[in-house]
Amino acid sequence: MFATLDEEELALVTAAGEFIELSKDEIVFSPGAPGDHLYVIDRGEVVIRSELDHEQGRELARFIAGESFGELDLLVRTPRSAYAIAATNSRMVRFPGVDLDLATFFHRQPEVSARILFKLLANVAGRLRSTNRLISENTAWVRELRRQVYLDKLTGLYNAAFLKEELNRYAEQADSVLTLLMMKPDNFKEINDTYGHEAGDNTLRQLAAVFGKALRDRGTAIRYRGNELAALIPRCSPADADALARELGTTVRTMDISALTGGTSVTVTVSFGIGHYPSDRSNPELLVTDTHALLFVARAAGGDRVLHLGDRHEGD
C-alpha cells in the first residue's frame, strides 16, 4: 500500500501510525464500526467475514503479511460492513493511529498529504480493476473514484496512471494488438517563456481538444506528462497510425492561438512517436519508454515529424 511513497511521505505515515498486536480470533473491527483506519499486516493473517459464526457467515476475503485492508472505508468515510478477525496471532500497522483522524493528518501537511491521498486512491483503483472480492465496481462512489484518479484536471483527458493500467490490461489478454501514439509540441517552451504559463496551459488545453477530437471513435486520448499527449489505439496498422499522426500534425499547424498570445500569430508544430504492441515491444513498460524517447529524437532532428519504433533512427 505504501510502497510507492518517498522517504518524506513514509516518515509522515510512520509518525501517524502505530503497531498493534492481536491474538488469534481477536476482532479487529465489527459491522457498523467507523471506517477510521486502514491496516497493513506485518505478520499473521486476517480474515474478513460476514458473520462471526462460521456456519452462518461466509469468508469474504483473507489477507496475509504485506497486504492491507480497510482502506476503502477509510477513504469514503463509511462504516464497516463486515467483521475483520485475526486468523492467527498477528501484528499490524494501524493508520492513522487511534488518537488521530485522517482529516487532521491531511490538514497538518496538505501538500504531502495530497500526494499520499492520490497514491492511496490509485492503489485502491488498481485493486478494483483486478478484483471484485468485496464490492461491485458499478457503485456510484467507485465510478467517482476512478474519475478522480484517472482524469487529468487541466486537459480533461485520461492521465498516465490510466495509461499504465490499460497497457497492463491489454498485456493480460491473448492476441492483443495495440498502437501507442505519442505527441509532443516542438515549440511549447518558447510559448511558455514568451507569453507566460497561462498561455502555455491554455495552448495545452487547445492541443488536448484537437487531439481528443481526432481520437474520437478510434482510441483513447491521454495526457502522459507535462505537454506530452498519448493515445492507445486498438488494432491500428502502422500505415493508419502514420496517417493519423500526419493529419494531426496538419491540424495543429493551422491551430489559431493568437487569442492566447496577445494577437501574435504563432504556429505550433508537433512531433510524434509511434510504437506497436506486441510487434515492436512485447513489454508494455518498454513500449512506453521507447516510444516516448522517439519524441526527443524527432525534436533533435528538427521536429515536425513522425517516427516509428519499427524504423531505425540515428543514435539507436
Sheet-wide strand order for 27-29: 27-29, 83-86, 45-49, 59-64
Does residue 164 share a domain with residue 135? no
pLDDT at 196 over 90: yes
Q: What number of other Cβ atoms are within 10 A of residue 314's Cβ?
A: 7
Does residue 185 share a domain with residue 112? no
Q: Indicate the pTM of the whole model.
A: 0.58
In this structure, is residue 2 part of a structural domain? Answer: no
Domain count along the chain = 2
For residue 278, say if its preceding peptide bond is cis, omega within 30 degrees of 0: yes
d(CA 143, CA 125): 10
pLDDT of residue 133: 44
- How confident is the prediction for the chain on average, in pLDDT? 86
Q: Where are the beta strands (DSSP E) in 25-122?
A: 27-29, 38-43, 45-49, 59-64, 68-69, 83-86, 90-95
* CA-closest candidate to residue 148, choices 166, 122, 127: 122
Does residue 300 share a domain with residue 273? yes
In this structure, is residue 316 part of a structural domain? Answer: no
Cell numbers representing residue 55 in the block: 456456519
* CA-closest candidate to residue 160, choices 221, 248, 75, 245: 221
**What stretches of the chain show up as alpha helix (H) in DSSP?**
7-16, 71-76, 102-108, 110-130, 140-150, 160-171, 188-195, 197-215, 238-253, 284-300
Residue 180 has phi, psi (to 5 degrees) of -110, 115
Print the domain residue range for 128: 7-150
pLDDT tens by residue, 107-164 = 777 776 777 777 777 766 666 655 544 445 455 555 566 666 788 889 999 999 889 8
Among the candidates 90, 125, 150, a domain finishes at 150
Does residue 194 share a domain with residue 258? yes
Strand 38-43 relative to strand 90-95: parallel, antiparallel, unpaired? antiparallel
Among the candidates 120, 150, 180, a domain finishes at 150
In this structure, is residue 1 part of a structural domain? Answer: no
Cell numbers representing residue 131 in the block: 478484483
Mean pLDDT of 267-291: 95
Q: What angle do CA 115, 121, 126 make, to 5 degrees?
A: 125
Dihedral angle over CA of 291, 296, 297, 302, nearest 10 = 140
Lowest mean per-residue pLDDT among 63-72, 124-133, 134-143, 215-224: 134-143
Mean pLDDT of 182-198: 95
Residue 86: Cβ-neighbour burial (10 angstroms; 0-12, 13-18, 19+): buried
Mean pLDDT of 163-167: 89
Does residue 171 share a domain with residue 146? no
pLDDT of residue 243: 96
Residue 231 has phi, psi (to 5 degrees) of -140, 140
CA distances from 212 to 92, 156, 234, 275, 304 (A): 46, 9, 15, 19, 19
Cell numbers representing residue 88 in the block: 492467527
Mean pLDDT of 55-72: 81
Strand 83-86 relative to strand 59-64: parallel, antiparallel, unpaired? unpaired
Q: What number of other Cβ atoms are within 10 A of residue 99's Cβ?
A: 8
pLDDT at 314 over 70: no
Does residue 294 share a domain with residue 170? yes
pLDDT tens by residue, 244-264 = 999 999 999 999 999 999 999
Does residue 134 share a domain with residue 168? no
In this structure, is residue 75 part of a structural domain? Answer: yes
Among the candidates 104, 128, 150, a domain finishes at 150
Which CATH number goes with the domain that contains 136? 2.60.120.10
In this structure, is residue 313 part of a structural domain? Answer: no
